[in-house]
């Protein structure tokens, strides 16, 4: 979706439910406080300016001066607030002994000198299931986010169906694509996140039809019919009109899979889809993913479910510190790894 459409249909409906109650309370409080200030003649900046320009009739000049003082006060208070926020988040900084230790004032993560991906090179064929395994922080999720263009790469290139993602070549130089062009490329991939990311103000059926109708311009009747078919495919037809809060974690993740499939992607990206689930709910999600693999869907799966990787993957890739340490066909990978680093985990 474009920014304005996403704001109108997704962001604002969720935000208004949170914003309206405190905003109404603040408005009422401001009305009461204004009345009180009028009674006690509180000598704030604008009130003093009014008293002066009533005397000398220099309205514009005095209002400009009052505005300047407001701007000056706010300009001083804002850095102070940012400093307090920065100090309050000191736990997110690196060690105080580190001379490069510092935090972004808004707590945003920065890579500093850490290289999240290092000389990663791999091919995924149509209909192939590739499983990415490795310790947390080894770069698996970052790789998926780069493919889906949620994170930009600093060097190299990513091709999907013969098209270079994120940039175009012109005059021997690479130029960054616009947000609209990137959104068009992103239609070729579907991504299922760890935390479901369903729209809480829409039912399961509406979550699935939102993309096809609003982004692809398909009719509501066709989108609804296909959504019901996809819900049947993941075993949730009876939950079509349920909201995410009325679904279990496993059910929410299956709706998320159906929502991604509704866009008819060429490539499905799964970012640890079972990591946020209770053990008894993991099986139902993996069952859906097995069915997708048997149907010939091209998939890249970040997973810690080694049994699933043994059973379903065509290719297994082991990553560590942002690099591919080991990769190969499923049968050879588990039986005779080339790198010694795998032997403690997967003995022969």
Token representation of residue 272: 């640890």
Domain-located, residue 219 = yes
**Is it the case that residue 81 has pLDDT exceeding 50?**
yes
Q: How many domains does the chain have?
A: 2
Query: Phi/psi zone of residue 285: left (φ > 0), alpha (ψ -120 to 50 degrees), beta?
Result: alpha
Token representation of residue 249: 């974690």
In contact, 185 and 177? CB cutoff 8 Å: yes
Whether residues 289 and 217 fall in one domain = yes
Whether residues 69 and 151 fall in one domain = no
Whether residues 86 and 159 fall in one domain = no
Whether residues 312 and 216 fall in one domain = yes
Find where tokens 């400009």 sit: 64
Whether residues 216 and 268 fall in one domain = yes
Question: What is the mean predicted confidence (pLDDT) over 49-76?
Answer: 78
Whether residues 149 and 258 fall in one domain = yes
What span, in angstroms and rounded, lies between the C-alpha atoms of 313 and 330?
A: 6
Q: Report CA-CA distances (Å) from 19 to 16, 198, 203, 347.
A: 5, 20, 22, 56
CA 141 to chain centre: 11
| Beta partners for residue 298, in sequence order | 267
**Is it the case that residue 42 has pLDDT exceeding 70?**
no
pLDDT of residue 269: 93
- Give residue 310's pLDDT band: very low, low, confident or very high (50, 70, 90): confident
Mark which of 71, 92, 113 sits at the end of a domain. Answer: 92
- CATH code (residue 181): 3.40.50.300
Domain-located, residue 72 = yes
What span, in angstroms and rounded, lies between the C-alpha atoms of 269 and 144?
A: 7
pLDDT of residue 13: 85
Highest-confidence segment of 51-65, 91-105, 223-237: 223-237
**Is it the case that residue 116 has pLDDT exceeding 70?**
yes
Q: Phi and psi at residue 67, in whole multiples of 5°?
A: -65, -40
Domain-located, residue 166 = yes
What span, in angstroms and rounded, lies between the C-alpha atoms of 270 and 257?
A: 9
pLDDT of residue 90: 42
What span, in angstroms and rounded, lies between the C-alpha atoms of 154 and 44?
A: 52
Q: What is the pLDDT of residues 314-343, one digit of tens each?
A: 999 999 888 888 888 888 887 776 654 444
Q: Which domain holds residue 192?
A: 129-342
Question: What is the mean predicted confidence (pLDDT) over 153-164?
Answer: 86
Mean pLDDT of the chain: 80
The CA-based dihedral angle spanning residues 251, 255, 258, 263, taken in that order and rounded to the nearest 10 degrees: -160
Whether residues 301 and 204 fall in one domain = yes
| Beta partners for residue 319, in sequence order | 324
Whether residues 326 and 182 fall in one domain = yes
What span, in angstroms and rounded, lies between the C-alpha atoms of 313 and 338?
A: 18
Domain-located, residue 115 = no
Whether residues 88 and 134 fall in one domain = no
Whether residues 150 and 245 fall in one domain = yes
Token representation of residue 22: 């405190």
Parallel, antiparallel, or unpaired for β 267-271 and 298-302?
parallel
Whether residues 134 and 83 fall in one domain = no
Domain-located, residue 101 = no
- Give residue 259's pLDDT band: very low, low, confident or very high (50, 70, 90): very high
Mark which of 38, 73, 92 sits at the end of a domain. Answer: 92
Q: What is the 3-state composition of the chain as percent helix, strand, coil, each rounded to the nearest 5? A: 50, 15, 35
Q: What is the pLDDT of residues 262-294, one digit of tens each?
A: 999 999 999 988 887 777 788 888 888 888 888
Q: What is the pLDDT of residues 23-34, one digit of tens each?
A: 777 777 776 666
């Amino acid at each position: 979706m474009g920014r304005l459409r996403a704001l109108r249909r997704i962001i604002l409906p969720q935000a208004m439910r949170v914003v309206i109650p405190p905003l109404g309370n603040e408005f009422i409080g401001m009305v009461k406080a204004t009345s009180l200030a009028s009674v006690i003649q509180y000598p704030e900046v604008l009130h003093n300016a009014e008293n002066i320009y009533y005397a000398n009739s220099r309205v514009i000049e005095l209002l400009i001066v009052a505005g300047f003082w407001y701007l000056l006060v706010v300009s001083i208070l804002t850095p102070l607030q940012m400093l307090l926020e920065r100090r309050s988040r000191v736990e997110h900084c690196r060690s105080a002994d580190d001379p490069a230790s510092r935090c972004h004032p808004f707590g945003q993560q920065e890579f500093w000198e850490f290289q999240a991906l290092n000389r990663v090179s791999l091919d995924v064929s149509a209909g192939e299931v590739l499983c990415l395994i490795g310790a947390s922080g080894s770069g698996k999720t970052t790789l998926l986010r780069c493919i889906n263009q949620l994170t930009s790469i600093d060097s190299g290139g990513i091709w999907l169906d013969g098209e270079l993602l994120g940039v175009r070549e012109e005059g021997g130089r690479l130029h960054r694509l616009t947000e609209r062009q990137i959104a068009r490329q992103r239609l070729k991939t579907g991504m299922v996140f760890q935390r479901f990311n369903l729209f809480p103000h829409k039912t399961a059926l509406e979550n699935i039809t939102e993309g096809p109708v609003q982004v692809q311009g398909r009719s509501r009747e066709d989108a609804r019919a296909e959504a019901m078919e996809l819900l049947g495919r993941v075993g949730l037809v009876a939950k079509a009109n349920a909201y995410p809060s009325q679904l279990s974690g496993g059910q929410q993740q299956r709706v998320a899979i159906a929502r991604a499939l509704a866009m008819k992607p060429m490539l499905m990206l799964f970012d640890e889809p079972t990591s946020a689930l209770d053990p008894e709910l993991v099986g139902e999600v993996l069952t859906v993913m097995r069915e997708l693999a048997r149907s010939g869907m091209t998939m890249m799966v970040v997973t810690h479910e080694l049994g699933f990787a043994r059973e379903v993957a065509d290719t297994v890739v082991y990553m560590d510190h942002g690099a591919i340490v080991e990769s190969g066909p499923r049968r050879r990978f588990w039986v005779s790894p080339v790198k010694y680093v795998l032997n403690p985990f997967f003995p022969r």
